[in-house]
Structure 1
């Protein structure tokens, strides 16, 4: 039996990876599906003024909201699955869960972005690929927004021009 881990944050791009696994399940009904949602931890300032149990309850509620669309798709498709929620660094938690669950693959979706944007940002997908020994299947998700397609490259270009002018 193959085990697959699907990081899911509730975004439209994440649904692309989930739908890919739904299609794979039709071909391989012995596929064991694990969903994971990773919540970012609160800053120390928030921790100083809230209880651990209140923070964990909030993280659990947010994870359940994010996983609700995935749960609905999988239940509607008749696919058995297990949900996991964690708090911490997204890439570290995904890699650790894949190792702990003995997954054979991680299926991640990523928004389509320009190579310049991918070079500038350190995406969770890139971090997972760099840190895991488990094969990672990356599924193209939604197209990048106009800001990502035009704004960020323009901003980087303007910054490079400013640096060049300051150097001269």
Structure 2
């Protein structure tokens, strides 16, 4: 059985990954599609004022709302699927859920980004690629915006040059 985990939220990148997975794997009767939404962990000091039940209900409601368009797309495509939501760090939570479900692959949508940008962001894709022993298939969206394609590397080069000049003096 081929089990495919697809992280979903209400983004275009998630729907792009979903479309790819349906096209590539969805028509195979030996494939199970599983969509998963990750909700942020609530800090302990907030938990002092709100019950665990209320927090769980709030996270569940947000997860269903975030996965609504993905579920509708899968239903229109005639592909059967299951849905769960988890909490915590996105990369680790998705990996743990894929392991728990016995998934054979993770298909994730990601925006094209500069390596330098990914260095400073908490990229779910980068985290999954780093920690996962399950194959991760990355489906990329549109091309990089001009600022990110040229501006960030130019700023990085400028900063490196300034640092070298400061060290030499």
TM tier relative to shorter chain: 0.7 to 0.9
Q: Which residue of 1 aligns with 2:78?
A: 78
- Report the RMSD for the aligned CA atoms in angstroms: 2.2
TM-score w.r.t. length of structure 1: 0.86
1:84-128 per-residue CA deviation (whole Å, 9 max, x = no partner) reads 101111111111111111111111111011232233334111111
Structure 1 regions of 5+ residues with no counterpart?
A: none
Structure 2 regions of 5+ residues with no counterpart?
A: none
Count of aligned residue pairs for this structure pair: 168
Q: Which residue of 1 aligns with 2:43?
A: 43
Q: Which residue of 1 aligns with 2:115?
A: 115
How many angstroms does 1:130 deviate by? Answer: 1.6
Distance of 1:13 and 1:27 partners within structure 2 = 21
Q: Contact (CA 8 Å) 2:26, 2:79: kept in 1 or not?
A: no
How many angstroms does 1:138 deviate by? Answer: 0.8
Distance of 1:121 and 1:140 partners within structure 2 = 17
* Secondary structure of 2:71's aligned partner: helix
TM-score w.r.t. length of structure 2: 0.86
Q: Which residue of 2 aligns with 1:62?
A: 62
